[in-house]
Each structure stands twice: as C-alpha cells, then as structure tokens.
Amino acid sequence: MTMAEAKRAIVAVLYRDALPPRLGEIEELAEVRLTKADGLAEALVGADVLYQWHSFSPALRANWSAASSLTWVHVSAAGVSELLFDDLVDSDIVYTNSRGVLSRAIAEFALGFVLDIAKDAQGSLRLQQGRRWQHRITRKIQGQRTLVVGTGSIGREIASLFGAVGLRVSGAARSSRPGDAYFDVVHSSRDLALVVHDFDYVVLAAPLTDDTQGLVDADVLSAMKPTAHLINVGRGGLVHTDALVDALRSGSIAGAALDVVHPEPLPEEHPLWAMGNVILTPHMSGDTEGYLEDLDGVFVDNLQRFIRGERLLNIVDKRLGFVPGP
C-alpha cells in the first residue's frame, strides 16, 4: 500500500457510548465512519479497516456480508476469542488486539487479591463494620507458591510482580518447558489436576479458547490444597462455576478471588455473592485511570503502521484465538 493509497483508507469505528479519546488523530490519518452496531453494515461498505472500540460487540458477525473490502480489524481488548467466527477465521483479514496494554494493571490487581487474602482484609472490614477490636494472626506471602495459568503478557507481568515480593512462581501453558526468566517451571495446562496440589495460589490469566474453556473443573479443584485459593483475572469461562461453588462450600479449597465469572454479570441470586470465602469484583482489574487513552493509542500506532505499509503489532493467530507469545 502506498502512502497516497493509505491516506484514503476508510476506517469504520464501531462504538457504543463514548467515542475513542484519540479520534482526532485517527481522523487525520484516514477517512472515518463513526457507527454504532445498528449502522455497522452501512459503514462497512467499502471500508478497509474496522476499529472495534466497542470491544465485545458481536456486530461484525451479524454484518459479515457487508465486510467484503475489509483487510484489517482491530479490537480494543486483549481477549478476543468470543469475537471470532468461522468466516472471519478463514478470511485473509489481519486481526489485531490490545495485548499488553493492561497487563501491569491486571498484575497489580492479582497481587492485591493475594495480599487481601493473606492479610485477611475482608475479615478486618467485617470486624470494623461490627466495631469489634479483635487481634488475629495473618499469613506472610514470602515463600508461598503460586501457579499462574497463562504465560502470555499478563501472566509474565504477574510472575514478575509476584516474584518481586517473594512469592515462588510457576506457570502453566499449552506445553510444558523448563523454567525461564519469569517462571520456575512451566507445566502443561492439560496436567493441572496433577500439579495444583503444590500451590497456595492458582492464578488464572489465560485467554479463553476451545482448549481453555472450563479448564478448572471439579477434578482440578479437588486436587488443590484445602488451604489454597483460586484467583481469576482471565476469563470467567476458564472455570466451571458450579464445580467452584461446590468446592467452596465443601472446603475443598479455602477461597476464591474473582474479577471475572461465568455467567457475567453474575445473577443477583447466584450463591457466590453470599459466600464469606469469596471476593468478587466486576471485571475491572485492567481499568485504571487513563486506560482508555492507552488502549486507543495501540490502534493509532497500528494505523500509522498500516499507512506506511509496515507489519502491524499484536497480530492475533485467529485459529488459536490470541497473539502467540515470544
């Protein structure tokens, strides 16, 4: 693509409520068509690029027949497997995501969960609300063992941060390998039920794919230490929710800290809400001040590359459902 051709590129920007914060820069680089989901078909006609600022909208699938001229789709999220469908996967369209932008924030959130659990912050809050002065003994995290399931950008950031405060960190990925700069050792995720008994914390940070759907099931949960905690900052579908409820009720595991659940949002009557050994947050681990500008910046950077005819960053392997690691 020549510079002249690229300047005439047509970018359909799919949004829901707020517009991308760096929209002015995008408009300087290309012809922009702003659209919500109900107008996507019209906006796609003749468009070269779809910028899916409305991260999890299924509108592209519903309007696929209008996308005949698309060459590139960018999604302002890291997890994209829910958005992929056969026609898109089989096409020549380059698909990119926002991998890496939120990794540090998510790692900090996961560490916050560990500290909350180890120092019994929830118990302190309950005692404070009851105006009770009750001394307790808490747990130190130094030397405790963590298994991070998912060794991509988020998993490596978690491992780096956890290691810095003295936690011993192993990983689990599609295939096993000796340790590296981030993990003592990396196990195969297919062997979770065989290895989880060694760990105090099991942290889920994997993408949701056909291989990882329901990865943490009754067998894995029953194999965990009864003093262990499950932490999920990945996707709710990684966990078999009914099995988790059973494990929490029976004391098979000590507790869980969940930023993501399945189904999501969690129904008001769901038993997880009322469990004293569960911490719930509403899928917010990556959402820090300024994060929208950071997400938008990935697309602006890639659009500049697109104009120059350079290779784009964060190209998703559409058959795997994520950006392959190094």
Residues marked active site are found at 235, 264, 283
Alpha-carbon gap, residue 59 to 51, rounded angstroms: 12
Asked if 321 and 207 touch (Cβ cutoff 8 Å), the reply is yes
- How far is the C-alpha of 98 from the C-alpha of 314, rounded, in Å? 7
DSSP 240-299: -HHHHHHHHHHTSSSEEEESS-SSSSPPTT-GGGG-TTEEE--S-TT--TTHHHHHHHHH
Instruction: Determine the Cα–Cα distance for residues 325 and 103; give it in Å rounded to an integer.
Output: 14
The continuous run of DSSP H or E covering 193 comes out as: helix 192-195
Q: Please, which residues have CB within 8 angstroms of residue 131's CB and are 6 or more apart in sequence?
A: none
Residue 77: strand, helix, or coil:
coil
Token pair for 325: 């690691």
- For residue 156, the one-letter residue type is R
- The first and second tokens of residue 257, run together, are 């800290």
Tokens of 119: 């120092």
**Percent of the chain that is helix, strand, coil (3-state, to 5):** 40, 20, 45
CA atoms within 13 A on the CB side of 300: 15
